[in-house]
Amino acid sequence: MAKKRVFSGIQPTGQIHLGNYLGAVKNWVDSQDEYENIFCVVNSHAITTTQDPKELKEKTYELAGMLLACGIDVEKSNLFIQSEIDEHPALAWILDCNIPMGEMNRMTQFKDKSSKNAKNVNVGLFNYPALMAADILLYQSDGVPVGEDQKQHLELSRNVAMKFNRDFGECFKIPEPLIPKVGARVMGLDDPSVKMSKSAKGNNHAIFLLDSPEEILKKFKKATTDSHNAIIFDETRAGVYNLLSIYEVFTHKSREMIENEFAHKGYGEFKIAVAEVVIEALRPIQEEYLRLSTEKGYIQKVLRAGADKVRPLAKATYQKAKDLVGLV
């Protein structure tokens, strides 16, 4: 049987952090043998907010290098840059013309991002979900590894694909969400009521993949917990639950084993233990990234090869959609 195809993308803005890694990238890496994989640096999405052009280009290659350092294997996965495939924005226009305004108006991420960036609320930010749908549907994706916050955008992708197929004829596969049971939503260390974010301003909010061991330890030591004593998996105690979930993902231990391990220990010892497993897990990633950062030519070669492999599929899907709506 042919493997199911998955598509996912990540923006080259800010530094990649522990939430990005555990919620998305680590799952991409761990499931590479299971699926036919298409992974994309979605740089076109990044320009919905103002970017320095030179910096955006640099960060695009830096992110690609980080994905390779994290374990994306070019023998098992296709990795490419979104803007190298012209069919992404071309299909997005066709989808734009088939998405009701009401559905777009319901997108909570637009409301959130526009409220945070009121001086630059542009049409691209509003239409972001249509381009995301095009990213997914171009490659006839069976599944999309997504975090909880992206479920709404994937649902729109499914809706527009079903509507298009009904109105014009079969064109797109209807993708299913692939959401990891653990680590899908890593919260901020300083405020465990909000998801870990690249844009948060607090110095102790996020663990970035290139943080030094000293920085990681310092941030975990300052992580918000509570006034209770027991270190147990209790979702109502957001700070402790967040740290325990991070520890669970990296150690692969059962929840019962973890609770027994910290049964007679205090928060100070617990935080150090979490920091140590994160430091050890990130060490080989950091070492490989430093090696790859000196080989920009190799990274560019990988990205070109990835684009060359997926371009025929993108062209075929776009051509079919174009024909079905009557474009010549």
- 181 pLDDT band, cuts 50/70/90, is low
- Residue 252 zone, left/alpha/beta (φ > 0; ψ -120 to 50; rest): left
CATH classification number, 5-182+296-325, choose in 3.40.190.10, 3.40.47.10, 3.40.50.2300, 3.40.50.620: 3.40.50.620
Q: Is the pLDDT of residue 149 over 70?
A: no
- What confidence tier does 147 reach under pLDDT thresholds 50, 70, 90? low
What is the pLDDT at residue 180? Answer: 65
Instruction: State percent of the chain over pLDDT 90.
Output: 78
Residue 198 scores a pLDDT above 90: no
3-state secondary structure at position 9: strand
Cβ-based neighbour number of residue 322 at 10 Å: 16
**How long, in residues, is the chain?**
328
Q: Which tens digit of pLDDT belongs to each residue from 158-179?
A: 999 999 999 999 999 999 988 7
pLDDT at 182 over 60: no
pLDDT at position 33: 95
Mean pLDDT (whole number) for 28-57: 94
Mean pLDDT within 43-70: 95
Active site residues: 113, 195, 198
Reply yes or no on whether the pLDDT at 223 is more than 70: yes
Query: Residue 139 above 90 pLDDT?
Result: yes
Which residue in this structure is represented by tokens 């325990």? 244
Where residue 183 falls among pLDDT bands split at 50, 70, 90? low
Tokens coding 162 = 């079903």
Cβ-proximal residues to 181 (8 Å cutoff; 6+ apart), any chain: none
pLDDT for residue 134:
97
In sequence order, the 6+-apart residues with CB closer than 8 A to the CB of 19 are: 185, 186, 187, 195, 196, 197, 206
Residue 62 corresponds to which tokens in the numbers above? 């830096």
Amino acid (one-letter) located at 207: I
User: Residue 115: is its pLDDT beyond 80?
Assistant: no
Note the pLDDT of residue 50. Answer: 87
> Mean pLDDT, to the nearest integer, of 235-260?
95
